[in-house]
């Protein structure tokens, strides 16, 4: 295991909403865990029916609590089995390999904030609300869910300032009017959004003309942009390893690297966690991740090798 891997104990399990389970994790020696900031996530590693899983979950506890990490897991009926296993098989006292923390969704300083959360997307927002409330910053939260019983931590966020929080139940109020909500924001407001892909696509459309520093989005799954249809083979050079190989249409850069023995850290293999970010020495990346901002994509200085490809015939990487 690396220095960022920990064998942690599940010290407590709580049902915090319909289908949502909160896990409290601690070191076996009850020692301190690494510090983290709002927006950070960790990787949970486990095996179910002989299949190894790695799943990313946002830390949703108190930043000041150095002895415990908390994550909340939504049981997804149409998922790939990871969340169902956690709900069915995990118990208090179990040990679990956890990697992290890592932060691709950091809270930036701003005069005003608009937080928009959809369902389990509230989890990375909770520590952010605690921080901006403590700093007396101006903020609002719009928290959307199917029904009140499905909205985890709703009492906690309301307790931070009921006049600042709108709980929107789609079963009774229909879909949230995102264009109108965004149109009401002024140029000094920074928007943070986490939720289902349909919500995030709508946010992307509403804020298409905004600068990257005003809109911050975190995705649970890979961004859908249709780029898979334009895949082509290309050559990749791993400069530090002095190796060159062809990346075929049906394989990723990461898969080719692993086959050659090139050591690149990876986790989600879906372009959402950022662990496989690799420096680009030469070539034009074809970005297909959900981590880099548009400005970072245009700069072309790094690439998520688990999903992204190359626009140029040859790509040289610092690996």
Are 153 and 122 in contact by the 8 Å Cβ rule? The answer is yes
Instruction: Tell me the CA end-to-end span of the chain in Å, nearest whole number.
Output: 20
Contact 47, 7 (CB under 8 A): no
Domains of the chain (ranges; CATH) run 5-102 (2.40.30.10), 112-218 (3.40.50.80), 227-317 (3.10.20.30)
Tell how strand 302-304 and strand 277-282 pair up.
Answer: antiparallel
Q: Which two tokens stand for residue 22?
A: 């909160």
pTM of the predicted protein model: 0.84
The DSSP H or E segment spanning 129 is helix 125-134
Query: 212: which DSSP letter?
Result: G
- Cα separation, 76 vs 74, whole angstroms: 6
Q: How high is the pLDDT of residue 225?
A: 57
Q: Which of 140, 141, 203, 143 is nearest to 169 (CA)?
A: 143
Burial annotation 283-301 (CB, 10 A radius, 16+ → b, else e): bebbbbbbbbeeeebeebe
pLDDT along the chain (319 residues), means of 10: 86 97 97 97 92 92 97 85 91 95 94 97 97 94 96 96 96 93 94 94 91 90 61 93 94 95 88 91 93 88 95 95
Inter-residue contact 315 to 252 (CB < 8 Å): no
- DSSP-based three-state secondary structure for 285: strand
**pLDDT value at residue 180:** 94
- Alpha carbons 289 and 270: distance in angstroms, whole number: 7
Q: Which residue's entry shows tokens 């179990």?
A: 94
pLDDT at res. 79: 66
Q: Residue 222: what pLDDT?
A: 67
**Sequence-ordered list of residues with C-beta below 8 angstroms from that of 247, at least 6 positions apart, any chain:** 233, 234, 235, 236, 253, 256, 309, 310
Residue 223 is predicted with a pLDDT of 66
């Amino acid at each position: 295991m690396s220095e960022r891997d920990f064998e942690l104990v599940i010290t407590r399990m709580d049902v915090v909403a319909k289908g949502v389970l909160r896990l409290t994790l601690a070191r076996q020696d009850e020692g301190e865990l690494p510090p983290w900031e709002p927006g950070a996530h960790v990787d949970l590693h486990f095996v179910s029916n002989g299949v190894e899983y790695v799943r990313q979950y946002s830390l949703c506890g108190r930043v000041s609590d150095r002895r415990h990490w908390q994550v909340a897991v939504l049981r997804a009926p149409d998922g790939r089995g990871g969340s169902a296993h956690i709900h069915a098989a995990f118990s208090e006292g179990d040990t679990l390999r956890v990697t992290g923390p890592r932060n691709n969704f950091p809270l930036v300083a701003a005069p005003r904030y608009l937080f928009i959360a959809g369902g389990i997307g509230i989890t990375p927002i909770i520590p952010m609300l605690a921080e901006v409330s403590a700093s007396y910053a101006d903020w609002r939260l719009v928290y959307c869910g199917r029904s009140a019983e499905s909205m985890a931590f709703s009492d906690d966020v309301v307790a931070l300032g009921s006049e600042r929080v709108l709980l929107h139940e789609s079963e009774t109020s229909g879909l949230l009017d995102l264009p109108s909500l965004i149109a009401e924001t002024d140029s000094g407001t920074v928007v943070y959004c986490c939720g289902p892909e349909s919500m995030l696509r709508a946010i992307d459309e509403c804020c298409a003309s905004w600068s990257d520093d005003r809109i911050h989005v975190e995705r649970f799954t890979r961004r859908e942009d249709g780029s898979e249809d334009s895949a082509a083979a290309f050559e990749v050079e791993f400069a530090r390893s002095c190796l060159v190989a062809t990346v075929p249409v049906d394989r990723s850069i990461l898969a080719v690297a692993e086959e050659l023995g090139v050591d690149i850290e990876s986790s989600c293999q879906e372009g959402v966690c950022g662990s496989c970010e690799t420096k680009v020495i030469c070539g034009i990346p074809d970005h297909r991740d959900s981590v880099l901002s548009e400005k970072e994509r245009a700069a072309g200085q790094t690439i998520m090798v688990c999903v992204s490809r190359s626009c140029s015939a040859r790509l040289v990487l610092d690996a």
